[in-house]
Structure 1
Amino acid sequence: MTSNPASPSKVALVTGGSRGLGRSTVLALAERGVDTVFTYRANNAEAEKVVASVDGVGRRAVALQLDTGDTASFAGFVQRLRPVLDDLGSGRFDYLVNNAGTSHHASIEETTEDDFDALYRVHLKGVFFLTQSLLPLLNDGGRIINLSSGLARFAFPGSAPYASMKGAVEVLTRYLAKELGPRGITANVVAPGAIATDFSGGMVRDNPEVNRQIAGVTALGRVGQPDDIGPMIASLLSDANGWVNAQRIEVSGGMQI
């Protein structure tokens, strides 16, 4: 009796995968046997380090440059993506993680229209239209995870524009779940709390006072680390969580409860 050929590996597409939460997600997926295409905006050297790390655990990762705030570039990105997906297997992918983002800290009074528009292009318009562009390549039965923030639930002064975009992404996610349900595609939100990365200039990671303040309002008594988030995202994408849909899952260690 001849055995059936092995089924192709699952493939994920992760935006902003060269650092922080995106990097942790790519590596956690590799540990679970998932190959990944991930995007980076500018730092090719860091992206190649992630590729090498994935190779070190016996999986494949491909880094593609993309500015997720530049919707005019999305058609070209899809064309560059197609042969990469062909090389990885079926020419399609299974998981989309919209992680790429930028930070902003200013009061409502101090936020300029340019500041607001820059956040909108990356965190809402970019997520909407990149997802739209990629839907023809996403397998039926696939998964979408959009990254939000604990700031969409609790309020810290200086975060209103950023948090407002994340609130809009949470609404968009529910609509994705509803409209893509006939294809068996789920859509969920992962909302991290404060994480010690280089995000916001490393504010949480490098400022001892900010670090202490956040730890003091977190039930588990510390700030989050990237590897508190990436493995959680990878686990949410597993077959065991296929019935989780249209949910907002905060991963903050119990911040501001």
Structure 2
Amino acid sequence: MTFDRRIKIAPSILSADFADFGREIRAIEDQGADWVHVDVMDGHFVPNLTFGPQAVRAFRPHVTTFMDVHLMIAPVDPYIEAYAEAGADLITAHVESGPHIHRTLQAIRATGKKAGVSLNPGTPLEAIEYVLDLTDLVLVMSVNPGFGGQKFIHSQIDKIARLRGMIGDRPIHIQVDGGVDPKTAPLVARAGADVLVAGSAVFRGGSVAEAEVYGRNIRAIREAAEAHRPE
């Protein structure tokens, strides 16, 4: 995948119909999704339990764009290879999900996949300062991880802006996840984010049978973000 800083919308399938993932994935892609975001939770690192490697393997044939797998699990290192083999294109791990984030990022890259690192709302930028050269993406959590539909934490806008300065001209995506909708998308885009994860804001009001609603929601977020993206 060629790197660029154009706005990309990555719907989180945590908000999809769990009984119909294949058609839900195809519907959001048909309606303009750039990436498909898969939130993996272990009920330990975060207070929820979601998708194991076999689920991700089942999603893979339906994803024709880019499958972005966000591991909210600890310890994370023992599971990297399984999620890589399941078909993730990019694997993101949290700074706190193991004792050595540098080693974790090395392990992700060793599988041939793109590597992401995630910052919880209370995690400072300094935690990743010396691993940026091992990353393809930095995920700034704008809610506490674990559940969809939470309220956006505005203090993360400054973090995104400072992260954009720290990255400089390196080809590293800035992703933001949590409370992203047409109202908050301009704020994070102006600060420098280029990959916007949205769950309820994409899936709300729609269904596989009414997929055009997904399309309207995706376009609304994209247009709001693009109107405020730095030149």
Query: Normalising by the residue count of structure 1, what TM-score does the alignment of the two structures yield?
Result: 0.37
| Structure holding more helix per residue | 1
Greater radius of gyration (CA)? 1
